[in-house]
């Protein structure tokens, strides 16, 4: 069942708007056919999010994405017609992350009614474009106490940090001066360069340490 579900998810060309919505509808219908209520929300138009919750309260969230980047060239067969070769599934998004999403869907179906806390299933279509049109709103709306994401990160390590994006606007005030007396001025460009160098050092010196349990 898990293999067939993965292959079905792969078959959607989820880098264009129409098939993003078709895939979202398939996921919703799948969960409803298993006896769960599900809905499709668009926090931002054009980016469907599938949501299903087993109850009220602060949940444990299962989160995956069904969008993919375009397949590019070099495929020996249609990347959206999945095939199994030597016990491996090949197709666009098989790893990132249609297989992981299928596992989360099945996990939700199997476990949602068996836990003493709410389980929240979420599938977003904005991961490849930054996560600001789906996952961001989910975190703000539901405030889960724990999140399990089926993104492939390797099976032999626990990740304690992840790269991110930092956008900063820096402003400096200068003082103009005549070209014959530059010493009387204050060059704002040079001040910005100094700011960037200081910021670069701060970022490069930042390290991620292994969390330690506090001793009582």
CA dihedral 2, 127, 31, 71 (to 10 degrees): -50
List 123's β-bridge partners, or say none.
50, 64
| Residue positions annotated with a catalytic role | 67, 127
124, 149, 174 - which closes a domain: 149
Report the pLDDT value the prediction gives residue 154, as an integer from 0 to 100: 62
Question: If DSSP codes are grouped into helix, strand and coil, which group holds residue 149?
Answer: strand
Same domain, 124 and 80: yes
How would you write the pLDDT of the chain (216 residues) with one tens digit per residue?
899 999 999 999 999 999 999 999 999 999 999 999 999 999 999 999 999 999 999 999 999 999 999 999 999 999 999 999 999 999 999 999 999 999 999 999 999 999 999 999 999 999 998 889 999 999 999 999 999 998 876 666 666 666 777 788 999 999 999 989 989 999 999 999 999 999 999 888 877 776 665 554
Same domain, 82 and 181: no
Query: What total number of domains does the chain contain?
Result: 2
184 shares a domain with 141: no
Range of the domain at 186: 166-208
- For residue 97, say if its preceding peptide bond is cis, omega within 30 degrees of 0: yes
Decide if 158 is inside a domain.
Answer: no
Q: For residue 152, what pLDDT is reported?
A: 79
């Amino acid at each position: 069942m898990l293999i067939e579900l993965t292959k079905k998810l792969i078959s959607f060309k989820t880098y264009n708007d129409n098939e993003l919505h078709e895939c979202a509808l398939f996921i919703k219908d799948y969960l409803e056919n298993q006896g769960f209520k599900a809905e499709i929300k668009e926090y931002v138009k054009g980016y469907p999010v599938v949501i299903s919750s087993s109850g009220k309260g602060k949940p444990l969230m299962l989160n995956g994405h069904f969008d993919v980047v375009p397949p590019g060239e070099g495929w020996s067969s249609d990347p959206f017609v999945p095939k199994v070769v030597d016990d491996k599934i090949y197709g666009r998004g098989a790893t990132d992350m249609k297989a992981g999403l299928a596992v989360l869907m099945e996990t939700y179906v199997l476990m949602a009614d068996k836990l003493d806390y709410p389980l929240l299933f979420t599938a977003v279509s904005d991961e490849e474009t930054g996560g600001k049109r789906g996952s961001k709103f989910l975190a703000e709306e539901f405030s889960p106490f724990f999140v399990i994401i089926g993104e492939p990160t390797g099976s032999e390590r626990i990740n304690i940090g992840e790269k991110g994006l930092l956008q900063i606007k820096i402003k400096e005030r200068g003082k103009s001066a005549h070209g014959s007396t530059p010493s009387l001025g204050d060059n704002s460009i040079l001040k910005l360069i100094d700011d960037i160098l200081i910021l670069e050092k701060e970022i490069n010196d930042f390290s991620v340490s292994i969390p330690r349990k506090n001793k009582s």
